[in-house]
Amino acid sequence: VDAFLVTHRPNIFYLTGFTGSAGTLLVCLAEAALVVDGRYAIQAREEVRTARVRIMRGDLLAGVAALLRATKRTRIAFEAAHLSVQQRHDLATSTGRSVRWLPVCGWVEKLRAVKDEQELELMQKAAELASGVFEDVLALIRPGVREVELAAEIEYRMRRGGASGPAFETIVASGPRSALPHARPTTKPLTGNELVVFDLGAILRGYCSDLTRTVFLGRPPGRIRRWYSAVRDAQEAARETLRPGVQAGRVDSAARRVLRRHGLLRYFSHSTGHGLGIEVHEEPRLAFRQPARIEAGNVVTLEPGVYVPGFGGIRVEDDVVVHASGARLLTRVTRDLIQL
């Protein structure tokens, strides 16, 4: 291709360092141009070293089309997953028949999946921030406090710790609501003798963390202790499988095997983990029969769980980086069942 049009913000950030909310990147063989509007003129020039900054009035894609008309580039790749049908139509209309638009997928995502030392340092800090905040908030967890209050405390403290925001909407799910893997916090107060799932993550200088712990308020009955250790063992089995060259699906099945042995597999309703970085869900996916190979430098979550409808759920999630010899933990909170 003569050029590659990058429209996905996390990809633009990865390639240029630009953190603005609107921008389009045109990568050619010898140079690249970041097209932004006047709001980002100062910021883009400060942040971006790897591309020329072009300030445009009006629609950014129309600006890109004008650039392309002027440069006689004829084969342009675009990010098929990150351009709307309308945008694709408008581009084709404004560049005319001289330009061939080629849909491509995952070009930058594939690069992003392998983190360099500098990225790993940031991700370690993002993981430590989430870990520290969770440990601090433990002191506030007691019967009577509402889910939303704890979620607010977590997000506030992450922000105070330097996060630009939460990596996703913080989950605090208590009692039967903990059986919903993506429960939103409600005004429900915590009560005694119930499970509470906390899932939180911080964005620190562009990089995400993602941490889940399950707490029991009171003395957990034997059944819950057994389920909890099955989930923890499933996570451990996945972690032991994780190394460069292994298929992502094998990491997932290592966790599934443990849960099956405990008769809990039918309560595990999602995949074992996902890549983590500039986005909270990225490559590689640790999902059922996923054939992609794990590489050194991948950062993934390991988060098996069991969700029993009407009763409650248990999930344990950590972030790990893959090294030549295996997986190293980035998050650092006890993985024992926390009793309060």
H/E element holding 273?
strand 273-275
Scanning the structure block, which residue is given the tokens 């024992």?
336
**87: its two tokens:** 């945008």
Q: Using the minimum distance from each CB to Mn ion, give the nearer residue, 201 or 220.
A: 201
Does 155 bind Mn ion (CB under 5 A)? Our answer is no
Does 282 bind Mn ion (CB under 5 A)? Our answer is no
Q: Using the minimum distance from each CB to Mn ion, give the nearer residue, 210 or 283.
A: 210
Count of residues touching Mn ion (by CB under 5 A): 2
As measured in angstroms, the least distance from the Cβ of 253 to Mn ion is 18
Q: Using the minimum distance from each CB to Mn ion, give the nearer residue, 301 or 331.
A: 301
Q: Using the minimum distance from each CB to Mn ion, give the nearer residue, 174 or 301.
A: 301
As measured in angstroms, the least distance from the Cβ of 210 to Mn ion is 4
Q: Using the minimum distance from each CB to Mn ion, give the nearer residue, 24 or 301.
A: 301
Query: Is 325 strand, coil or helix?
Result: coil
Site track for Mn ion across 284-303, x = CB under 5 A: -----------------x--
At 282, phi and psi to the nearest 5?
Answer: -150, -170
**144: its two tokens:** 């009577």
Site track for Mn ion across 33-72, x = CB under 5 A: ----------------------------------------
Angle (nearest 5°) at CA 297 between 291 and 301: 65
SS3 content of the chain, % helix, strand, coil (to 5): 40, 25, 35
Q: Using the minimum distance from each CB to Mn ion, give the nearer residue, 290 or 301.
A: 301
Query: Is 185 strand, coil or helix?
Result: coil
As measured in angstroms, the least distance from the Cβ of 328 to Mn ion is 18
Tell me, what DSSP letter sits at residue 190? P
Tell me, what DSSP letter sits at residue 247? B
As measured in angstroms, the least distance from the Cβ of 58 to Mn ion is 39
Does 210 bind Mn ion (CB under 5 A)? Our answer is yes
Q: Among 198, 196, 201, 188, which residue's Cα sits nearest to residue 155? A: 201
| Alpha-carbon gap, residue 208 to 177, rounded angstroms | 25
Residue nearest to Mn ion (CB): 210
Residues in contact with Mn ion by the rule CB under 5 A: 210, 301
